A and B are shown apart, each in its own frame.
Chain A
Amino acid sequence: MVALVETRHLNFEYALSDHKSLSDVTLSVEAGAFIVIAGPSGSGKTTLLRQLKPELQPVGKRTGEILFNGHPINELGTVVSAQSIGMVFQSPDDQLVMDNVIQELAFSLENVGMSSGDIQRRIAELASFLGLQDLLYEDVTNLSGGQKQLVNLASVLILRPKLLLLDEPTAQLDPIATKSFMSLLQRIHEELGITIVMTEHVLDDVLPLADQLWFIRAGEITDTNTVSDTLGHLWQQPDARLFVPDVPYVFLNNQLTQTSGLPLTVVAGRRELREGKAKFKRPVIATAKEPVRRNWAVNLTHVAFEYDRNGNYVLDDLNLKVPENDWLAIIGKNGTGKTTLLKVMMGLLTPRRGTAKLLGKRVNSWHQQSLYQQVSFLSQTPSDYFSYDTVMAEFVARAEQLGLTDPKQAAQEMLTRLDLVSLANQNPHDASGGEQQLIALGILLLSAPSVLLLDEPTKGLDPVRRQRLGKILKRLQQERGVTIVMVSHDMAFSARFADHCTLLFDGQIVSQAEPHQFFAENFFYTTATNRLMRDLVPNLITREEVAVVE
């Protein structure tokens, strides 16, 4: 069987770089395969994917061979390459070129010189296949993130590619949008037989669809096996273990018996559990002693908010109290007003009715800059906070502005605390997404705030960085008494690190409880571990907690 794509002893080194980004990569993708490539950020996943698309090969020194259908890939004509290899990227917004959906679809075909009649036919056909008819004349700005990513995928598919490359396509989407994107990929793979190679670091939803899981580390491909073999191998390596999704993690961690291979989905896992008949421990839930009278870090009473005068209340008679030194996770799907809630809390938006208090004082009676020193808000776009050319300069400037006695010293300490020393002299815009998050956090932490408001802090982070961020925040909470209020759709992260969780729905806080209690009561909105285990032990919520009774 001839491979669709093959690389032989591929080495790559970026221009002006001192190390190899890919070293001796030999691999082969068979026609019709669905391959997932995982690995930490900066391990060369994207670099590898780009080598397979001649238009996007980065500038640098390349040795070895890349073959497409048995011929060197760089000898494909530009039009052939555009048509037979498609690529979808991470950000739903930045891939859009035109102003409405039909123009966006036409754009690809216009590029390869197709006539108006042919364009029309292909659009008609694809729109029916993907169910896009109702969106065709919609402005792209009116679409949700999930819809945008669907349009991006559609405008690649319309060229009828043989090979589809996807670079972390769901990193910016919420769980619901992620699931519908994945089921679309499954259809494309199964019904159209398109070969898919995809990089991803949150593997829960994609592994059940994949034939193979490859792992890459520091530019070297370490695994090119079937999903369960690779997972088994990753399990052996402590630092790669975090990449294993919840369901297989529980099985590998407890050495549970598997009759039909390593389960990847909740349904397969439950079947195995029923057959295995293992008994599990109840989790030890630390109930913190509630002091008689606590001060509220955040106190919202009867808050209502609307953006226009149309009576659509995003927040409606909302009450929320967060005690000092608590870590509260507000969960809910995109578009329910989670970010709005944080902004109202911070005083960036003025509530229509009701009062918002921070640290016992009404938000609008605070002096703005002293409020911003006491309470920090980190938005989803950390790069908005940057103003200087190097990370060090950012920190020093903020320290000077705060009138700290030794700005340099303070900046240096912050770099060390957040593990950013290696980036000190880099331009913050050149840092990766996760690092940018930490840099912005560092700028805000210099004023030693007592409350931190975080908007989707784990978005786009790989499991390793996710855990590191969680630990840094936990330490801040424990050592400095910081109160953390976080908005997130990452349930596993919330279950693991938060002290309390709550659900925002229809403009109101629906429940506010300790995570075990919170997730045990939810049916849909809960962690994969909980869904797997709930019939046996209802309040097991994180995969680390699952333990067999000896």
Chain B
Amino acid sequence: MSKLKQRGGYLISISLMVLCLVWITYFNGDQHYLILSLLCLVFSMLPFYWHFEMKRSEAREIVFLAVLATMAAMGRVAMAAFPDVKPTSFIVIVTALALGPESGFIVGSTAAIVSNLFLGQGPWTPWQMFAWGMMGVTAGLLRNLKWAHQRGWLATLGIIYGFLFGWIMDLWYALVYVQPLNAKTFVAAFAASFYFDLVHGVTTAVLLFCFYKSWYRIITRYKYKYGLMDAREELERSSF
């Protein structure tokens, strides 16, 4: 039963996905890009939220994530005076590399909601939640690879993430408001946002290059100080 509860998110996601496929194949669902795309967002994020909601976590874990999410959200809210420098992506990536995909996802998507609570929600909010959330997930999956922690590679990763993020954000209005959707549409949309994505990517790359090490060290240090995740068992093993 508890296993079912834990995995419930996946089940719902998969059944939603099947329903969508049926809808597309038999009922011309592919005409309704918006609904379809929002459904896609929901079933890609649901398993993470579900798992987070269902698992038992201590106050320390919640607070720890809240601090990181605040730093990331603050990157957008407080740096309004510096339009080019938005350390949000940097913080999401570092968190993910230090703590793993789930934490990365939670920090990324929470930062998106919260910063929009200050800057104003809009139809873009779910897309930003998705974009930063997935940035956290994918970066978190890389964390066991050695090269993912080297500055040069990280900088490249930063630029790639800058563009991927921009492309996802282009999607939300291209999908709904442009018809028909074809390669040309996307190329035009991507070209239009090229400069912004480049700046975003370069900033993230520079920040990762300069500050990755020190931030990674701080997060890891406090992971042990808080006794989070596997840290507690490791400590107990080493002291007895």
Given a CB threshold of 8 Å, the question of whether A touches B is answered with yes
Kindly state the separation between the CA atoms of A427 and B221 in the bound complex, as whole angstroms.
11
CB distance from A17 to the nearest CB of B (A): 9
Kindly state the separation between the CA atoms of A61 and B227 in the bound complex, as whole angstroms.
15
B235 within 8 A of A: yes
Contact flags (1/0) for B204-240 with A, using CB distance below 8 Å? Answer: 0000000000000000010000010000100110111
CB distance from B161 to the nearest CB of A (A): 28
Contact flags (1/0) for B90-101 with A, using CB distance below 8 Å? Answer: 000000000000
A2 within 8 A of B: no
Q: Which residues of A contact B238 (CB under 8 A)?
A: 16
Kindly state the separation between the CA atoms of A59 and B238 in the bound complex, as whole angstroms.
13
CB distance from A397 to the nearest CB of B (A): 14
A286 within 8 A of B: no
Kindly state the separation between the CA atoms of A16 and B232 in the bound complex, as whole angstroms.
12
Q: Which residues of B contact A427 (CB under 8 A)?
A: 221
Kindly state the separation between the CA atoms of A59 and B239 in the bound complex, as whole angstroms.
11
A15 within 8 A of B: yes
Kindly state the separation between the CA atoms of A59 and B236 in the bound complex, as whole angstroms.
8
Q: Which residue of A lies closest to B217 (CB)?
A: A389
CB distance from B110 to the nearest CB of A (A): 15
Interface range, A side: under 10
Q: Which residues of A contact B221 (CB under 8 A)?
A: 427
Q: Which residues of B contact A59 (CB under 8 A)?
A: 227, 232, 235-236
Q: Which residue of A lies closest to B240 (CB)?
A: A61
Q: Which residues of B contact A15 (CB under 8 A)?
A: 235-236, 239
CB distance from A30 to the nearest CB of B (A): 31
Q: Which residues of A contact B227 (CB under 8 A)?
A: 59
CB distance from A394 to the nearest CB of B (A): 15
CB distance from B225 to the nearest CB of A (A): 8
Q: Which residue of B lies closest to A55 (CB)?
A: B59
Q: Which residue of B lies closest to A427 (CB)?
A: B221
Q: Which residue of A lies closest to B224 (CB)?
A: A16
Q: Which residues of B contact A61 (CB under 8 A)?
A: 239-240
Contact flags (1/0) for A2-18 with B, using CB distance below 8 Å? Answer: 00000000000001100
Kindly state the separation between the CA atoms of A332 and B232 in the bound complex, as whole angstroms.
46
CB distance from B70 to the nearest CB of A (A): 13
Q: Which residue of A lies closest to B225 (CB)?
A: A430
CB distance from B238 to the nearest CB of A (A): 8
Q: Which residues of B contact A16 (CB under 8 A)?
A: 235, 238-239
Kindly state the separation between the CA atoms of A61 and B236 in the bound complex, as whole angstroms.
10
CB distance from A193 to the nearest CB of B (A): 29
CB distance from B126 to the nearest CB of A (A): 24
Kindly state the separation between the CA atoms of A309 and B238 in the bound complex, as whole angstroms.
59
Q: Which interface residue of B221, B235, B239, B240 has the most chain A CB atoms within 10 A?
A: B239
CB distance from A10 to the nearest CB of B (A): 19
CB distance from B176 to the nearest CB of A (A): 34
Contact flags (1/0) for B103-128 with A, using CB distance below 8 Å? Answer: 00000000000000000000000000
CB distance from A14 to the nearest CB of B (A): 9
Kindly state the separation between the CA atoms of A15 and B232 in the bound complex, as whole angstroms.
10
CB distance from B118 to the nearest CB of A (A): 13
Kindly state the separation between the CA atoms of A61 and B221 in the bound complex, as whole angstroms.
22
CB distance from B120 to the nearest CB of A (A): 19
CB distance from B215 to the nearest CB of A (A): 13
Q: Which residues of A contact B232 (CB under 8 A)?
A: 59
Q: Which residue of A lies closest to B221 (CB)?
A: A427
Q: Which residues of A contact B239 (CB under 8 A)?
A: 15-16, 61
Kindly state the separation between the CA atoms of A427 and B236 in the bound complex, as whole angstroms.
22
Q: Which residue of A lies closest to B62 (CB)?
A: A97
CB distance from A296 to the nearest CB of B (A): 38
Kindly state the separation between the CA atoms of A33 and B181 in the bound complex, as whole angstroms.
75
Q: Which residues of A contact B240 (CB under 8 A)?
A: 61
Q: Which residue of B lies closest to A111 (CB)?
A: B59
Kindly state the separation between the CA atoms of A16 and B239 in the bound complex, as whole angstroms.
6
Kindly state the separation between the CA atoms of A53 and B40 in the bound complex, as whole angstroms.
46
Q: Which residue of A lies closest to B238 (CB)?
A: A16
Q: Which residue of A lies closest to B232 (CB)?
A: A59
Kindly state the separation between the CA atoms of A427 and B235 in the bound complex, as whole angstroms.
19
Kindly state the separation between the CA atoms of A453 and B240 in the bound complex, as whole angstroms.
48
Kindly state the separation between the CA atoms of A61 and B240 in the bound complex, as whole angstroms.
9
CB distance from B57 to the nearest CB of A (A): 13
Contact flags (1/0) for A424-462 with B, using CB distance below 8 Å? Answer: 000100000000000000000000000000000000000
CB distance from B63 to the nearest CB of A (A): 9
Kindly state the separation between the CA atoms of A427 and B227 in the bound complex, as whole angstroms.
18
Kindly state the separation between the CA atoms of A61 and B238 in the bound complex, as whole angstroms.
13
Q: Which residue of A lies closest to B58 (CB)?
A: A55
Kindly state the separation between the CA atoms of A59 and B221 in the bound complex, as whole angstroms.
16
Kindly state the separation between the CA atoms of A40 and B236 in the bound complex, as whole angstroms.
29
Kindly state the separation between the CA atoms of A15 and B235 in the bound complex, as whole angstroms.
7
Q: Which residue of A lies closest to B222 (CB)?
A: A429
Kindly state the separation between the CA atoms of A427 and B240 in the bound complex, as whole angstroms.
25
CB distance from B2 to the nearest CB of A (A): 18
Kindly state the separation between the CA atoms of A106 and B240 in the bound complex, as whole angstroms.
41
Contact flags (1/0) for A468-492 with B, using CB distance below 8 Å? Answer: 0000000000000000000000000
Q: Which residue of B lies closest to A58 (CB)?
A: B227
Interface residues of B in 11-62 (CB under 8 A from A): none
Q: Which residues of A contact B235 (CB under 8 A)?
A: 15-16, 59
Q: Which residue of B lies closest to A13 (CB)?
A: B239
CB distance from A373 to the nearest CB of B (A): 27
Q: Which residue of B lies closest to A94 (CB)?
A: B63
Contact flags (1/0) for A241-257 with B, using CB distance below 8 Å? Answer: 00000000000000000
Kindly state the separation between the CA atoms of A427 and B238 in the bound complex, as whole angstroms.
22
CB distance from B175 to the nearest CB of A (A): 35
Kindly state the separation between the CA atoms of A16 and B231 in the bound complex, as whole angstroms.
13
CB distance from A388 to the nearest CB of B (A): 10
Kindly state the separation between the CA atoms of A59 and B235 in the bound complex, as whole angstroms.
9
Contact flags (1/0) for A49-88 with B, using CB distance below 8 Å? Answer: 0000000000101000000000000000000000000000
Kindly state the separation between the CA atoms of A299 and B232 in the bound complex, as whole angstroms.
56
Kindly state the separation between the CA atoms of A15 and B240 in the bound complex, as whole angstroms.
9
Q: Which residues of A contact B236 (CB under 8 A)?
A: 15, 59
CB distance from A266 to the nearest CB of B (A): 42
Interface residues of B in 156-180 (CB under 8 A from A): none
What are 5 inter-chain pairs, A to B, with CB distance below 8 A?
A: A15-B236, A59-B227, A59-B236, A61-B239, A427-B221
Q: A16-B235, A61-B240, A427-B221 are in contact. List 10 more A-B contacts (CB 8 A).
A: A15-B235, A15-B236, A15-B239, A16-B238, A16-B239, A59-B227, A59-B232, A59-B235, A59-B236, A61-B239
The 4 closest A-B pairs by CB, nearest first: A15-B239, A15-B235, A16-B239, A59-B227
